[in-house]
Amino acid sequence: MRIIAGDKKGHRIAAPRGDNTRPTGDRVREALFNMLGPLDAASVADLFAGSGALGLEALSRGAASCVFVESGHGAARVIQSNLLKLGLTGAMVQKRDVLAFLREQGGRGVRYDLVFCDPPYGDWEALELELAALLPSVLADGGVLAVETEARTEPALPLALVTSRRYGSARITLFRP
């Protein structure tokens, strides 16, 4: 895997070993970031971060900060290693449960300009109701939520649907407040 564009364009990034992580492929990431447009000074949350590819790409493209939330120990270590290797600043890795993170951030009034939500494909149905209750409270006015699911899953959240597109086995759905 590599960074597609921005200051770190072309740099390779590591992904966690094993079957527990499914990094967003280069083609899907490129399509997603083309839909998002400029990220200058954006505050980003990368939920279910896995390899951190989405947040790393956002930082390379000018985002001011990114919080990577990942419960897997090995994946969190890989994200930290990628950040050090790329020399990216403005990032924090939180090794914890995403739902607990969202409850805490929403309760504190913390808002993000861009939120990536890429849970394991098989987990979307089990998480959808809780995510629907928690995600709107962390999204800034004018912010964007980008959800990645398997292609046949169409997420339903209490936010304005911007677009939903299929890319092979993946679906990217964008929402706004």
pLDDT (tens digit, 9 = 90+) per residue, 151-175? Answer: 999 999 999 999 999 998 899 999 9
Q: Which tens digits make up the pLDDT trace of 23-77?
A: 667 788 899 999 999 999 999 999 999 989 999 999 999 999 999 999 999 999 9
Give residue limits of the domains in the chain.
26-176
Residue 99 has pLDDT above 80, yes or no: yes
Rg (CA), the chain: 15
CATH fold of 26-176: Rossmann fold (3.40.50)
What's residue 23's pLDDT? 63
Q: Closest Cα partner for 67 from 56, 81, 78, 77?
A: 56
- For residues 58 and 4, what is the distance between their CA atoms, to the nearest angstrom? 10
- At position 32, the amino acid (one-letter code) is L
Percentage of the chain with pLDDT > 70? Answer: 95
pTM of model > 0.75: yes
pLDDT of residue 89: 85
Q: Nearest Cα to 49, choosing from 69, 29, 30, 34?
A: 69
